[in-house]
């Protein structure tokens, strides 16, 4: 197996960041927009402009998918899957601590969040290929003509 095949999904996402910026079908959101997006989908998150996503990002549990001019993280809408899992896990642990005084924190949350984020990374990588079939439309962010976009999309599709 060659090195490229062994690369993790996150490494692919980072390596293809420039192409994904042009091919992405759902725009990235700052923390405030991401909070609203997650809340609209039933995720019980704290914060208005900043909150749990930023805190999880600082802890290394919720990676950003880009950054804005102020170097603040931007999140792909699919990242709410990992956010939802993190919030649920923390709520469960808080309840256990209240009802079971000897309960210890889950030291494995970092590993769990890595798995949840790997699912999101796969979805983000596959989005340019499959979203147009799901949504019956294709969005062009980079301003390149559609025939040029196909040349950028081809290598990603082959992977």
Whole-number pLDDT of residue 93: 76
Total number of domains in the chain: 1
Whole-number pLDDT of residue 77: 95
Q: What is the mean pLDDT of residues 55-64?
A: 91
Whether 31 and 49 have beta carbons less than 8 Å apart is answered as yes
d(CA 32, CA 51): 8
Whether 113 and 61 have beta carbons less than 8 Å apart is answered as yes
- Domain around 87: 3-158
Whole-number pLDDT of residue 27: 87
Whether residue 64 has pLDDT greater than 50: yes
Whether residue 30 has pLDDT greater than 90: yes
Mean pLDDT of the chain: 79
pLDDT in tens, 65-115: 988 888 899 999 999 999 999 988 887 777 777 777 766 665 677 788 888
């Amino acid at each position: 197996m060659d090195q490229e095949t062994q690369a993790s999904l996150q490494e692919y996402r980072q390596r293809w960041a420039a192409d994904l910026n042009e091919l992405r079908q759902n725009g990235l959101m700052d923390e405030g927009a991401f909070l609203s997006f997650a809340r609209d989908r039933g995720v019980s998150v704290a914060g208005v402009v900043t909150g749990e996503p930023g805190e999880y990002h600082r802890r290394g549990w919720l990676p950003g998918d880009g950054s804005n001019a102020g170097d603040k993280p931007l999140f792909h809408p699919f990242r709410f899957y990992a956010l939802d899992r993190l919030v649920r896990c923390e709520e469960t642990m808080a309840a256990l601590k209240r009802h079971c005084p000897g309960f210890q924190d889950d030291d494995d949350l970092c590993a769990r969040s890595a798995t949840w984020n790997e699912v999101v990374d796969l979805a983000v990588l596959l989005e340019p290929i499959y979203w147009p079939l799901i949504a019956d439309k294709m969005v062009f962010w980079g301003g390149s003509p559609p025939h040029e976009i196909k040349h950028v999309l081809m290598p990603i599709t082959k992977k």
